[in-house]
Amino acid sequence: MSATPQPNEQALRLHAFYSGKMQTLPKCAIRSMADFSMWYSPGVAAPCQAIAHDPDLVYEYTNRGNLVAVVSDGSRILGLGNIGPEAGLPVMEGKALLFKHLGGVDAVALCLRSRNEDEFIRAVEMLEPSFGAINLEDIAQPGCFRILAALRERMDIPVWHDDQQGSAVVALAGLVNALAVVGKRLDSVRIALLGMGAANSAVCRLLRASGVAPAQIVACDHRGVLHRGRADIARVQTLYPDKWALCAESNPDAITGGPAGALRGADVCLAFSAPGPGTIEPAWVRTMARDAIVFACANPVPEIWPQAAHEAGAKVVATGRGDFPNQVNNSLCFPAIFRGVLDVRARTITDSMALAAAHELAAFARDRGISEHDIVPRMNEPGLYPRVAVATAMAAQAEGVARLSVSREALLARATARIAAARGATEALMREGLIAAPPAA
């Protein structure tokens, strides 16, 4: 079975034509050279002195409250692996583009040349005065877990690892709606997790926060099914405490072996593992329960092609790709989640906030109708990102981690206006020729 061709040649041509995807432009009026006396010296001294007296005024007098750092070490880029910080920069720029276009959030791509976790943590920690939030991206495990935990503890602004938390939010939203389509309940299905890296570790945490019992889960990493006898995980349990806990608490039938055993009788397969095809065999899908749900989320190639999964008996199939139905991709949530946390100046992003975002995503899709081929929203659906932003911001206020108290109506108006302004600015630059039309192929 052939895949949809990847636009590699076109991507190279256009990246070279534009020299990347992001630039910096003023947001203030510049009517004449005299204005620089206000925006820079001597006028700039006034906001500087005000902030020195009251540091919270930095959010009023600068762009910090709408600025995110997208930080990576290049150690686990998409499906490409450890290709280094320079090679990872196009991905971080792409992330910044999605932040701006989908969430109205300004973002800066920062790739650090560091393989030392403590050094990386300290470098990111030192960025705090300039940014309203931190988005960690494409960092290999197990370092990604410790880095996230350390920075969340040390920093007084939200720190989010999108490969973990963003993937989990959208996967949960998709699963809620997929179960609604097939008429099953989250608290009674058996769930197979294939791949226990950053994404499925966070998926597992959100599933349990949603009421899923460990006994409903059978997990499988690259060495096989997790169970109490996994001595290899026991030896590194300090590096992988959540994984070791899953060995002890899940898989009550003590299934051993590989993914074939994990999938046998399962209602749901949530795969964030090695790119396929062939990582999941159609024969294994045939052994799953009636009306099975298969999320094959590896990029750039899913663990099993959707058509093959359907032919093997799966009722609902999702992937991480936009050229198939049911794209389970973190781009559906992170711009909105950051929009929400920035608009109430949240100090962190809790699991309750992530759950609120996931359930709003699912509700948005249900409000306009879902089916086996349409369980999650699409990136271009009007109103999606403001709604999820509001849900996140309201949850932050309910949790007591927001610095500002803002009504639902005001949050919706602000998010809608910010996102519209970002898109309108790009459209205006294109219309005026200041962003050139791409050359013909």
At 230-279, the pLDDT tens digits run 999 999 999 889 899 999 999 999 999 999 999 999 999 999 999 889 99
pLDDT in tens, 389-427: 999 999 999 999 999 999 999 999 999 999 999 999 999
Tell me how far CA of residue 430 lies from CA of 12, 23, 162, 379, in angstroms: 21, 14, 30, 21
Confirm if 181 and 316 have CB atoms less than 8 A apart: yes
pTM exceeds 0.75? yes
pLDDT in tens, 86-133: 999 999 999 999 999 999 999 999 999 998 999 999 999 999 999 999
Which residue matches tokens 């309201």? 394
Confirm if 384 and 336 have CB atoms less than 8 A apart: yes
Which of the four pLDDT bands, split at 50, 70 and 90, describes residue 79?
confident
Partners of 319 in the β-ladder: 296, 327
pLDDT in tens, 318-352: 999 989 999 999 999 999 999 999 999 999 999 99
**In one letter, which amino acid is 291?**
D
Q: Is 264 left (phi over 0), alpha (psi -120 to 50) or beta?
A: beta
**In one letter, which amino acid is 410?**
A
Please give the share of the chain, as a percent, with pLDDT higher than 90: 92
- Report d(CA 386, CA 403) in Å as an integer: 20
**Residues carrying an active site annotation:** 40, 95
**In one letter, which amino acid is 287?**
T
Compute CA 426 distance to the chain's CA centroid, rounded to the nearest angstrom. 24
Mean pLDDT of the chain: 95
Q: Is the pLDDT of residue 3 over 60?
A: no
For β-strands 292-296 and 67-72, DSSP reports them as: unpaired
Q: Is the pLDDT of residue 381 over 90?
A: yes
Peptide bond into 214 cis (omega under 30): no
* Helix-, strand-, coil-residue percentages of the chain, each rounded to 5: 50, 10, 40
Confirm if 300 and 311 have CB atoms less than 8 A apart: no
Which residues fall within 8 angstroms of residue 85, CB to CB, at 6 or more apart?
A: 72, 73, 74, 111, 112, 113
Tell me how far CA of residue 65 lies from CA of 62, 308, 405, in angstroms: 7, 46, 15
Which of the four pLDDT bands, split at 50, 70 and 90, describes residue 4?
very low
- Structure confidence at residue 2 (pLDDT): 42
pLDDT in tens, 197-227: 889 999 999 999 999 999 999 999 999 999 9
C-alpha atoms less than 13 angstroms from C-alpha of 217 in its C-beta half-sphere = 29
Structure tokens given for 76: 């686990």
